[in-house]
């Protein structure tokens, strides 16, 4: 029997660039896991249909946010190492603590991250980490959508490299299209500066063998780019091109330090960029050339990165930063308009990870959407609700969240996770790490 939800008197984001209006007021019908109808008038066949109803009169509906780069379990290290440059932060704070992580720690940290993301409107996230079976289990249990990969640093013996590659391949095989299709997988050598060329080439071959996407960190800092030139005589983009990385559908995180020629190469191979504005600002890595990337038709999405370098997973913050900082650095107030920022955070992100039926509120699309309480002082008057979502709202304004047609957050509370238990377990996990 079809499960049907009818939202009435709602206002809905319309994000296609050619849309006549940025919002539509009326009705949306969800049947099972998909949007069956959206429009100003409810078709007669639904007027007497058996359905659950949701009053949308004080709500604004938009596609769920898509977080295209992160390391969920790093919530356990939130605030543990702040106000440091990237390499010092990694080598002195992050890597020593992460080396102590157990399966239980990753489960606890990921559960905390997923709880935070769901409650702030993220319905899909990308995760690159270790102990990935635990990450996938949290996703399966919580109802969130995710694209997951075992990240692999290659600064180790060839034997350990092979072990990591085997783990990455096995995980990708075991979990691709799991959890009713909500989980997809990729392959991910960590970065050009942490992975020898031959190691990256093995990942490229495995991606060809398994028909999977590739994802990596790239050109996050100027020092990283300089190191690549010292080690290999090439900047990271040309280096990855030479290794065949771009022969697979792929995208990179950060891409802060790019030349015009490198942007052309990314556009040539249809390589996307996950923009991580808060993390890049906090680590003083720089500001990615988002407006130039967009002009070159490079797909740009948004990621939070891990909570240890952000320090939250609220994608509303990232949308706002994306809209604001590029106006500031370019001197052009039209550089990233509000509607474009919302597209970058939703449909662009879905496209980045090859989810063709996620990211828009349209008939036939997956029912991944969120409802924001707009009956609040900072969201009045209702002049332009898309603008309000980008410049005034935060994730704390999210009232309801649906993924795959199932409600996972109701009135601000996550109904698929034990919130108190998640908070307790994460706190205990961190205390345990300090004692090891």
Q: What is the pLDDT of residue 48?
A: 79
Enter the DSSP assignment of 176.
T
Tokens of 10: 């709602």
Tokens of 314: 């609220």
Residues 6+ positions from 6 with CB-CB distance below 8 Å? 27, 28, 29, 30, 42, 46, 49, 51, 52, 53, 54
Residues 6+ positions from 32 with CB-CB distance below 8 Å? 2, 3, 405
CB atoms within 10 A of CB 238: 17
At residue 329, what are phi and psi to the nearest 5 degrees? Answer: -80, -25
Q: From CA 322, how far away is CA 294, in angstroms rounded?
A: 12
Q: What is the pLDDT of residue 53?
A: 96
Contact 384, 374 (CB under 8 A): no
Q: From CA 432, how far away is CA 100, in angstroms rounded?
A: 10
Q: From CA 36, how far away is CA 165, in angstroms rounded?
A: 42
Helix (H) or strand (E) holding 214: strand 214-218
Q: From CA 250, how far away is CA 227, in angstroms rounded?
A: 23
Q: How far apart are the first and last CA of the chain?
A: 53
Residue ranges of E strands in 203-352: 214-218, 250-254, 272-275, 300-302
By DSSP bridging, strand 23-31 and strand 34-39 are antiparallel
Classified as helix, coil or strand, 53 is: strand
Q: What is the pLDDT of residue 86?
A: 82
Classified as helix, coil or strand, 241 is: helix
Residue ranges of the chain whose pLDDT lies below 50: none
């Amino acid at each position: 029997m079809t499960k049907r939800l009818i939202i009435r008197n709602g206002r809905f984001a319309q994000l296609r660039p050619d849309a006549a209006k940025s919002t539509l007021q009326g009705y949306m019908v969800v049947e099972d896991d998909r949007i069956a109808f959206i429009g100003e008038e409810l078709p007669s066949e639904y007027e007497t249909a058996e359905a659950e109803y949701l009053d949308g009169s004080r709500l604004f509906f938009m596609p769920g946010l898509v977080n295209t780069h992160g390391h969920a379990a790093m919530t356990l290290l939130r605030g543990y190492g702040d106000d440091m440059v990237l390499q010092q932060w990694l080598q002195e704070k992050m890597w020593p603590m992460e080396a102590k992580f157990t399966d239980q720690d990753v489960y606890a940290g990921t559960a905390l991250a997923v709880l935070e993301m769901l409650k702030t409107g993220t319905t899909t996230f990308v995760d690159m980490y270790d102990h990935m079976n635990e990450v996938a289990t949290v996703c399966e249990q919580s109802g969130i959508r995710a694209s997951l990969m075992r990240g692999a640093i290659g600064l180790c013996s060839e034997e350990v490299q092979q072990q990591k590659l085997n783990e990455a391949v096995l995980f990708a095989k075991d979990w691709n299209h799991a959890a009713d299709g909500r989980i997809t997988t990729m392959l991910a050598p960590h970065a050009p500066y942490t992975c020898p060329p031959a190691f990256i080439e093995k990942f490229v071959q495995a991606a060809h063998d398994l028909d999977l996407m590739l994802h990596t960190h790239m050109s996050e800092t100027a020092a990283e780019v300089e190191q690549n030139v010292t080690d290999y005589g090439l900047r990271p983009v040309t280096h990855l091109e030479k290794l065949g990385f771009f022969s697979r559908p792929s995208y990179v995180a950060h891409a802060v330090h790019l030349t015009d020629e490198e942007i052309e190469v990314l556009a040539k191979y249809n390589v996307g960029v996950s923009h991580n504005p808060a993390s890049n600002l906090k680590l003083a890595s720089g500001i990615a050339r988002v407006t130039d990337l967009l002009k070159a038709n490079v797909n740009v999405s948004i990621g939070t990165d891990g909570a240890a370098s952000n320090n939250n997973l609220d994608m509303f913050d990232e949308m706002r930063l994306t809209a604001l900082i590029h106006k500031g650095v370019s001197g052009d107030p039209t550089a990233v308009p509000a509607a474009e920022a919302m597209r970058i955070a939703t449909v662009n992100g879905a496209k980045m990870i090859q989810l063709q039926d996620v990211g828009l509120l349209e008939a036939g699309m997956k029912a991944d959407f969120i409802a924001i309480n707009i009956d609040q002082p900072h969201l009045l008057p209702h002049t332009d609700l898309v603008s309000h979502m980008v410049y005034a709202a935060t994730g704390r304004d999210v009232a309801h969240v649906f993924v795959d047609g199932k409600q996972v957050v109701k009135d601000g509370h996550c109904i698929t996770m034990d919130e108190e238990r998640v908070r307790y377990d994460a706190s205990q996990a961190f205390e345990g790490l300090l004692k090891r």
